[in-house]
């Protein structure tokens, strides 16, 4: 039996996701003693159903803090650099930047509710991957493969072009992960060669989808194996963060991509008991 909630985190698999109670998006509500946790299992992008679930959660629950995906927890509560981006994203309906994390932060700020990133320090994820034999170049290549579908969805790829999007992402992630030396050498041409060798096919920016960076241990893509190592460490640290925030803020709204829910659910149930209510996103 797991001793701590993070020990209860399970690896992702497509079968695990297919066994979820509803198609994305949906909500799961947990309550224990004087604490509550409402988890929005989001459909990534500018999905109206996900946005309505976020609105409903803020309107009907006494949320004291919103925890959002994609932003480092280390930046603290209500980070100024993120708040500055919210009006620009709102002007574009969160479809050209921000997505559901930005929408959740924007709506929380409108209602006087604080928000915070839920992402762990990147160094912990890098260390785990390097210990498994992956290289800094493998991590940088994985980061771009992981982000590329979102760059297509939010308009970054169209606005910056492929070269600009690549340099923007690699520079940011190399800094976060202390991989600056490797990042300086990792050009788009080097990435193309890496991709051909590791993925077994030529790179085509229009064809890279969410399947390639999915954390599937036995998947056909190299990036899926990187993602498996990164994903399990990431989810364990996310659960630790949620547990800490529950102690300090008691009532949380957590907005994360729906694929995280089945991997986190055993940990959340160990922390809070089984969900007392689950609701689909509706039409």
The token pair at 263 is 């991997």
**Residue 99 contacts residue 152 (beta carbons within 8 Å):** no
Q: What is the pLDDT of residue 114?
A: 97
| Distance in angstroms (rounded) separating the CA atoms of residues 113 and 63 | 7
146-159 per-residue burial string, b: 16 or more CB within 10 A, e: under 16:
bbbbbbbbbebbee
Q: What is the pLDDT of residue 25?
A: 96
Q: What is the pLDDT of residue 225?
A: 93
* Cβ atoms < 10 Å from Cβ of 111: 12
User: CB neighbours of 153 closer than 8 A, spacing ≥ 6?
Assistant: 44, 45, 46, 95, 99
DSSP structural state of residue 178 = T
Among 2, 92, 6, 99, which residue's Cα sits nearest to residue 50? Answer: 99
C-alpha distances in Å from residue 74, one per residue of 70, 117, 157, 210, 243: 12, 8, 27, 27, 16
pTM score of the predicted model = 0.85
**pLDDT, tens digit, for every residue of 202-251?**
999 999 998 899 888 888 999 999 999 988 989 999 999 999 999 999 99
* Mean pLDDT per 10-residue segment, the chain (283 residues): 81 84 94 96 90 95 94 91 91 86 95 94 87 94 94 88 96 92 96 97 94 88 93 92 95 94 95 95 70
Q: What is the pLDDT of residue 92?
A: 86
Peptide bond into 36 cis (omega under 30): no
The token pair at 134 is 């992956």
| Distance in angstroms (rounded) separating the CA atoms of residues 68 and 101 | 5
Strand 65-72 and strand 251-257: pairing? parallel
Phi, psi angles (nearest 5°) of residue 257: -55, 145
| Distance in angstroms (rounded) separating the CA atoms of residues 246 and 251 | 7
Q: What is the pLDDT of residue 17?
A: 82
Q: What is the pLDDT of residue 205?
A: 95
């Amino acid at each position: 039996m797991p001793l701590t909630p993070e020990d209860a985190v399970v690896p992702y698999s497509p079968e695990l996701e297919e066994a979820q109670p509803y198609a994305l998006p949906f909500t799961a509500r947990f309550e224990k003693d004087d604490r509550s946790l409402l988890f929005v299992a989001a459909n990534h992008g500018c999905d109206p159903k996900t946005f309505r679930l976020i609105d409903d959660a803020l309107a009907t629950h006494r949320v004291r803090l919103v925890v959002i995906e994609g932003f480092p927890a280390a930046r603290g509560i209500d980070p100024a650099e993120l708040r500055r981006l919210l009006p620009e994203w709102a002007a574009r309906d969160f479809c050209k930047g921000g997505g559901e994390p930005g929408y959740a932060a924007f709506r929380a700020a409108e209602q006087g509710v604080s928000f915070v990133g839920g992402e762990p320090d990147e160094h912990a994820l890098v260390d785990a991957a390097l210990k498994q034999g992956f290289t800094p170049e493998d991590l940088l290549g994985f980061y771009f493969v992981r982000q590329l579908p979102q760059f297509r969805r939010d308009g970054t790829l169209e606005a910056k072009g492929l070269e600009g999007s690549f340099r923007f992402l690699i520079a940011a992630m190399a800094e976060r992960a202390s991989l600056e030396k490797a990042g300086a050498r990792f050009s788009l041409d080097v990435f193309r060669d890496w991709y051909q060798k590791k993925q077994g096919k030529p790179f085509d920016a229009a064809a890279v989808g969410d399947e390639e960076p999915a954390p599937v241990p036995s998947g056909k893509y190299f990036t899926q194996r990187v993602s498996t190592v990164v994903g399990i460490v990431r989810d364990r640290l996310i659960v630790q963060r949620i547990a800490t925030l529950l102690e300090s803020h008691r009532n949380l709204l957590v907005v994360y991509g729906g694929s995280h829910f089945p991997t986190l659910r055993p940990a959340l149930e160990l922390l809070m008991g089984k969900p007392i209510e689950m609701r689909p996103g509706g039409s």
